[in-house]
Amino acid sequence: MKKIIYPIVFSLISTLSLAAPVDDLMVAVKRDSDISARDLIRAGVDVNALDKNGRTALTVAIQEQSAKVLPVLLNARGINLSTPNKYGESPLMMAIISNQTALAKQLIARGAATNKGGWSPLHYAATRGNVEVMRLLLARDAYIDAKAPNLATPLMMAAQFGDEAAVRFLLSRQADPWDRDTRGHTALDYARRGGKEDSIAMIASAQRKRKDPGKVRPLAPLSPASAAELRGEPIPEDPEPIPMIYPPGQEPVTANPLP
C-alpha cells in the first residue's frame, strides 16, 4: 500500500513546488515589482508558464499595464511573445485592444506573430481605428482580409467600430469590400450598423469600382476573329460563328419553314 501512496504524494508535492514560483511571479507582475520579477526569473522560474487561468506573466503584465515589469519580461531569455490566453488573444492583440500602442509596436518589432487563425491582431487594430499599428502589421505580412470565426474581416471591424481613416487606409491597401460574413453581410452593412456616414460612402464607392465576385459571370469564349487579332494573326475573312451550347430543354424554338 505504501508503495502506491508514496509516488502519489511525491507527485503532488512536486506539482505544488512548481506552481508556487509561478504564482510568486504572477504576484510580482501584478504588483509591478521589477526587482522581484527579475530575481524569480534568474532563479529559474519559467517565464512562459501558465497560471491557473491559462495566462502567462506577459499576458498578465499587459492586462495590468505593469510598466516596470514589462521590460524585464520582454528581455527574459526564451520568452514566447505570442502565447495566447484562454480566449485566443495573443499579447499583441491585448496590447492593441487596450490602446497600448507603444507596446504593440515593440512586440511587432520583436517578432510577435502578426497572423493567427480566427480573430487576428489586424482585426483588433481595425476595431480601434489604429492606422499606425495597421500599417506596421501589414508591413510584417499580416493578411489584410483575415477571417474571424464568423468570417468578419478587418475592414468590417473598421467600418462599424473604427473610423473613416481606418476604412480609407484598408481600402487603399486593396481590402475586399465585397467579402461576406456568415450572414452574408459586407463591410457596407457593418458601416450602416455603426452609423458611419463617411465610411458608408467610401465602401459603397469601392464596391461600385470593384465587381462583386459572387455575381461575375464567366467570360464568353473569344470569336475566331478576336482570337486572331489578340494573337497578332490575320483576321479570317469569313470567320465561323461560335456554336452556342444550351442547357437541356432550353434550346431556342425556331419557326417551322414554309411549305
CATH of the domain at 184: 1.25.40.20
In sign, the C-alpha dihedral spanning 72, 99, 177, 189 is positive
In a domain, 122, yes or no: yes
Whether 71 and 95 map to the same domain: the answer is no
Task: Judge whether 201 and 164 are in contact, CB under 8 Å.
Answer: no
Domain boundary (29, 51, 76) is at 76
In a domain, 242, yes or no: no
Domain hosting 134: range is: 90-212
Give Cα 47 distance to the centre of its chain: 26
pLDDT at 109: 96
Nearest to 155 by CA among 182, 184, 196, 191: 191
Give Cα 73 distance to the centre of its chain: 25
pLDDT at 204: 95
Whether 106 and 69 map to the same domain: the answer is no
Count helices and strands in the chain by DSSP H and E runs: 13, 0
Whether 174 and 60 map to the same domain: the answer is no
Domain boundary (76, 108, 127) is at 76
Whether 100 and 200 map to the same domain: the answer is yes
Reported as a single tens digit per residue, the pLDDT across 154-181 is: 999 999 999 999 999 999 999 999 999 9
Alpha-carbon span 202 to 196, nearest angstrom = 10
Chunk the chain into consecutive blocks of 10 residues (it has 259) and report each block's average pLDDT, rounded to whole numbers: 45 44 90 94 93 94 96 95 94 97 97 95 98 98 97 97 96 97 95 95 94 62 59 65 49 47
Reported as a single tens digit per residue, the pLDDT across 79-107 is: 999 999 999 999 999 999 999 999 999 99
Alpha-carbon span 235 to 224, nearest angstrom = 8
Whether 45 and 110 map to the same domain: the answer is no
In a domain, 37, yes or no: yes
Whether 193 and 122 map to the same domain: the answer is yes
In a domain, 232, yes or no: no
In a domain, 115, yes or no: yes
In a domain, 234, yes or no: no
Position of cell 505593469? 66
Domain count for the chain: 2
Task: Report DSSP letters for 191-241, one per residue.
Answer: HHHHT-HHHHHHHHHHHHHS--TTTPPPPPPPPHHHHHHHHTPPPPSSPPP
Whether 204 and 109 map to the same domain: the answer is yes
Query: Quick one: DSSP state of residue 232?
Result: T
Alpha-carbon span 129 to 165, nearest angstrom = 7
Nearest to 191 by CA among 214, 221, 161: 161
Task: Report DSSP letters for 98-151, one per residue.
Answer: TT-HHHHHHHHHTT-----SSS-HHHHHHHHT-HHHHHHHHHTT--TT---TT-
In a domain, 175, yes or no: yes
Alpha-carbon span 124 to 19, nearest angstrom = 32
Alpha-carbon span 251 to 65, nearest angstrom = 71
Task: Judge whether 204 and 196 are in contact, CB under 8 Å.
Answer: no
Nearest to 124 by CA among 83, 85, 171, 162: 162
Task: Judge whether 166 and 129 are in contact, CB under 8 Å.
Answer: yes
Whether 96 and 207 map to the same domain: the answer is yes
Whether 201 and 108 map to the same domain: the answer is yes
Whether 45 and 129 map to the same domain: the answer is no
pTM of the model: 0.75
Buried b (16+ CB within 10 A) or exposed e, 184-217: ebbbbbbbbebebeebbebbeebbeeeeeeeeee
Domain boundary (46, 76, 106) is at 76
Whether 120 and 29 map to the same domain: the answer is no
Whether 160 and 202 map to the same domain: the answer is yes
In a domain, 251, yes or no: no
Task: Report DSSP letters for 71-84, one per residue.
Answer: HHHHTSTT--TT--
